[in-house]
Structure 1
Amino acid sequence: MNAGPGIVGVGETPALRHPEPGCNTATLIAQAVRLALDDAGLRPAEVDGLGLASFTLRPDRAIDMAWRLGLTLDWCMQDEMGGASAINLLRHAWLALQAGQARTIVLVAGDHFSGADFVDLVGRYNRSAQDYLSPLGCAGPNPLFAMLTQRQMARTGLRREDYGALCVAQRAWAGANPNAAYRQPLTLAQYLEAPLVAAPLGRLDCVPVVSGACALVLRARPQGVHVTLRASGARYNADQQEGDGLVTGIAGFAPALWAEAGLGPRDMDVAGVYDDYPAMALAQLCDLGLAPADDLPGFIARRIATRALPVNTAGGQLSAGQAGTAGGMHGLAEVARQLLGRAGARQVAGARFGVATGYGMVQLRYGMCANAAVLAREDA
Structure 2
Amino acid sequence: MSRDVFVSGVGMIPFTKPGVGEPYQQMAARATRQALADAGIGYDLVQQAYVGYVYGDSTAGQSALYEVGMSGIPIVNVNNNCSTGSTALFLARQAVASGAADCVLALGFEQMSPGALGSVFKDRPSPFDRFDKATEELVGHGEIPLALRYFGGAGLAHMQQYGTKLSTFAKIRAKASRHAANNPLALFRTVVTEEEVLNTPVMWPGVMTRLMACPPTCGAAAAIVCSEEFATRHGLKRNVRIKAQAMTTDGPATFEARDMREVVGFSMAKAAADQVYEAAGIAPQDVDVVELHDCFAHNELISYEALGLCPPGGAEKFIVDGDNSYGGKVVTNPSGGLLSKGHPLGATGLAQCYELTHQLRGTAEKRQVEGARLALQHNLGLGGACVVTLYERV
Settle same-fold status: TM greater than 0.5. Answer: yes
Residues 249-285 of structure 1: per-residue CA shift (max 9 Å, x gap): 1223433321210211111110111111122122222
CA contact (8 A) 1:225 1:340 kept: no
Counting only pairs closer than 5 Å after superposition, residues 147-166 of structure 1 correspond to structure 2 as 147-166=153-172
Alpha carbons 2:177, 2:340 under 8 Å: kept: yes
Q: RMSD value over aligned CA atoms? A: 2.7
Deviation at 1:190, TM superposition (A): 0.6
Match among 254, 260, 272 for residue 245 of structure 1: 260
Secondary structure at the residue paired with 1:141?
helix
Name the structure 1 match of 2:149: 143
Distance in 2 (alpha carbons) for counterparts of 1:124 and 1:216: 36
Residues of 1 paired with 2:85 and 2:16: CA distance? 20
Hey, what's the Cα distance between the residues in 1 that align with 2:16 and 2:61? 23
Distance across 1 between alignment mates of 2:123 and 2:370? 44
1:224 Cα deviation from its structure 2 partner:
3.5
CA-CA distance at 1:334 after TM superposition: 1.5
Q: How much has 1:353 moved relative to structure 2? A: 0.5
Report the secondary structure of 2:106's partner residue: strand
Could you tell me whether the CA contact under 8 Å between 2:377 and 2:388 is conserved in 1?
Answer: yes
Report whether the alignment pairs 1:201 with 2:208. yes
1:65 Cα deviation from its structure 2 partner: 3.0
Give the 3-state SS of the residue equivalent to 2:17 in structure 1. coil
User: 1:16/1:254 Cα in 2 relative to 1: closer, same or farther (>3 Å)?
Assistant: closer
User: For residues 29-68 of structure 1, what are the structure 2 equivalents within 5 Å?
Assistant: 29-68=28-67
Q: Quick one: which amino acid aligns to residue 213 of structure 1?
A: A
Q: What SS does the aligned partner of 2:393 have?
A: strand
The size of the alignment, in residue pairs, is: 371
Please give the alpha-carbon distance, in whole angstroms, between the structure 1 residues aligned to 2:123 and 2:289.
36
| TM superposition score normalised by structure 2 | 0.86
- Does the aligned pair in 2 maintain the 1:84–1:328 contact within 8 Å? yes
CA 1:123/1:47 → structure 2, altered by over 3 Å: closer, same or farther? same
Structure 2 contact 325–331 (Cα < 8 Å) conserved: no
- Unaligned 5+ segments in structure 2 are 137-141
- 1: CA distance between counterparts of 2:125 and 2:310? 32
Matching residue's letter, 2:183: N
The percentage of aligned residue pairs carrying the same residue is: 21
Structure 2 distance, partners of 1:116, 1:207, is 11
Equivalence for 1:227: 240
Q: Which amino acid aligns with 2:199?
A: E
1:125/1:213 Cα in 2 relative to 1: closer, same or farther (>3 Å)?
A: farther
Matching residue of 2:109: 110
Alpha-carbon distance in structure 2 between the residues aligned to 1:276 and 1:126: 25
Deviation at 1:346, TM superposition (A): 0.7
- Residue 99 of structure 1 and its aligned partner are, at CA, apart by 3.3
Letter in 1 for 2:270: A
TM-score when normalising by structure 1: 0.89
Distance 1:188 1:276, change over 3 A: same
The residue identity in structure 2 corresponding to 1:304 is N
Q: Secondary structure, in 3 states, of the residue corresponding to 2:285?
A: helix
Residues 244 and 276 of structure 2 are in contact (CA less than 8 Å); yes or no, is this contact kept in structure 1? yes
1:353-372 alignment, distance < 5 Å:
353-362=374-383, 368-372=384-388
Could you tell me which runs of 5 or more consecutive residues in structure 1 were left unpaired when the two chains were aligned: 363-367
Offset at residue 61 of structure 1 (A): 3.0
